[in-house]
Amino acid sequence: MQIVQLGRVDYESTWEQMKEFTRLRSAPNASELADILWMCEHPSVYTQGLAGKTEHLFNPGGIPVVQTDRGGQVTFHGPGQVVAYPLLDLRRAGYFVKEYVYRLEEALIRTLLHFGVTGHRVPGAPGIYVNLQDPRGHARWAPQSNSAAHGHRVPDFTGLGKIAALGIKVSRHCAYHGAALNVDMDLSPFSGINPCGYAQLRTVDLSTIGVSVAWEEVSAVLGQKLVAHLLA
């Protein structure tokens, strides 16, 4: 899998290029088109997933909003966030979507560990979270309650901050969109939304939890971890 560092690029044009690449992969005799990983950051933009509800975007201010074809709810992209777009043929890789999500999350966890931070999964809420009281601690995080609403368990974010988000699309076995890891951002735009559809969910970055590291270094490490875990 080739890693391409795109730098700061417009969200909508990058999305169109992802769709075009994926369309070409579905053409006759294109089955051997190589997987590729794009690493980038975007100017400030809110993106809304296919299932996105308008009530989760309540104060966009002057930031543009883009309705996309990925899964999930609303999120924010902006400078200081590493965005990874694996353009991956899942059938050739030999696993399905659930396994793909797990591998994306594992690459994010391993990237955080490289910088001395422990990442956690939350059942029912894709993405990676950190313990705000002890982001470097290795204790296993466990939910504090089993509260439920409308017959469904509500993910428990007690004591956690979200540091990485996922949103994917799979078309004819080929995945696009991907993951975003917050490095050193202006986090205030997250206060204008319910991140990923969850009210009161705090969003953090590496800088917030005391890790000072360059965007380029995080991008390089995350790219390496993604290649290792997606193609293992």
Separation of alpha carbons 76 and 55, rounded Å? 15
Total residues found in the chain within this entry: 232
What is the DSSP-derived secondary structure letter of residue 78? -
What is the DSSP-derived secondary structure letter of residue 55? G
Asked whether 112 and 161 are in contact (CB, 8 A), the reply is no
> Cα 38 vs. chain centroid, distance in angstroms?
13
The question of whether 196 is a catalytic residue gets the answer: yes
Among left, alpha and beta (phi > 0; psi -120 to 50; other), residue 211 is: beta
Beta strands in the chain, from DSSP E residues, in sequence order: 2-8, 36-41, 45-48, 65-67, 75-77, 81-89, 120-122, 125-131, 148-149, 152-153, 160-171, 174-182
Catalytic residue, chosen from 174, 196, 201, 204, is 196
The set of residues, in sequence order, having a beta carbon less than 8 Å from that of 102 and lying 6+ positions away, is none
User: Nearest Cα to 162, choosing from 144, 182, 148, 189?
Assistant: 182
One-letter amino acid for residue 17 of the chain: Q
Residues identified as active-site: 196
